[in-house]
């Protein structure tokens, strides 16, 4: 099903229209707030009764909202199948660019991706380890979803173990120099 694209950082690297096979949600009865700004919208669909029902109208699948206090919200209803996160480059690009927009202060460097794209264990509970190439040695910064640096550690090859036992459960990213990881670190308790 084609998704039409609105102008936003999260859609800057997507084709328009984006053909995506997905389980598309419906937003009747107040689930979609009027102050949301849609960035991806699915076309009209055919309902289970083989008709276009009111809930089958074109509808948002990804949107954002900027809060009066200065915060930002981003939501996507895409990503039902695990393959979205492992094999769908466009979906991962959409989520990566949305996260980069959310944290604002962390830039995603396409021209210098980190070689260390694996983290283990992931999800992590107490310690996570990152492989470090000789050319990448330096200071690792662990960043939370707001862009706040929550841990800093000097690392040398071949790997870097980071104590995450004091961090709240959630999704974190690591930076090394000007590059940001494309693989999130999930912390659980």
Over the stretch 53-99, which tens digit does the pLDDT of each residue have?
777 778 899 999 988 877 788 999 999 888 888 889 999 889 988 88
For the stretch 13-55, pLDDT in tens is: 999 889 888 887 877 776 788 888 999 998 887 878 888 877 7
Please give the pLDDT value at position 107. Answer: 42
- The residue among 73, 65, 67 whose CA lies nearest residue 102 is 73
User: Helix, strand, or coil here: 176?
Assistant: strand
* Residue 133: strand, helix, or coil: coil
What confidence tier does 163 reach under pLDDT thresholds 50, 70, 90?
Answer: very high
For residue 64, which of 6, 1, 143 has the smallest C-alpha distance? 6
Each residue's pLDDT tens digit, 98-155: 888 887 644 444 433 434 446 788 788 899 888 777 777 788 888 887 778 898 888 8
**CB burial string 63-96: b at 16+ within 10 A, e below:** bbeeeeeeeeebbbbbbeeeebeeebeebbbbbb
């Amino acid at each position: 099903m084609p998704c039409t694209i609105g102008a936003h950082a999260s859609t800057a690297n997507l084709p328009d229209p984006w053909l995506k096979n997905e389980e598309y949600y419906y937003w009747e009865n107040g689930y979609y707030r009027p102050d949301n700004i849609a960035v991806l919208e699915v076309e009209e669909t055919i309902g289970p009764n083989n008709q276009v029902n009111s809930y089958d109208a074109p509808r948002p699948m990804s949107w954002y909202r900027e809060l009066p206090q200065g915060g930002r919200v981003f939501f996507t209803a895409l990503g039902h199948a695990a393959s979205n996160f492992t094999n769908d480059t466009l979906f991962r690009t959409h989520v990566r660019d949305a996260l980069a927009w959310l944290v604002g202060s962390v830039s995603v460097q396409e021209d210098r991706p980190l070689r260390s794209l694996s983290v283990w264990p992931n999800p992590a509970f107490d310690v996570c380890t990152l492989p470090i190439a000789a050319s990448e040695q330096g200071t690792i910064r662990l960043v939370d979803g707001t862009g706040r640096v929550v841990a800093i550690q000097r690392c040398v090859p071949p790997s870097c173990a980071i104590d995450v036992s004091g961090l709240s459960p959630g999704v974190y990213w690591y930076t090394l120099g000007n590059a940001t990881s494309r693989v999130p670190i999930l912390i659980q308790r």
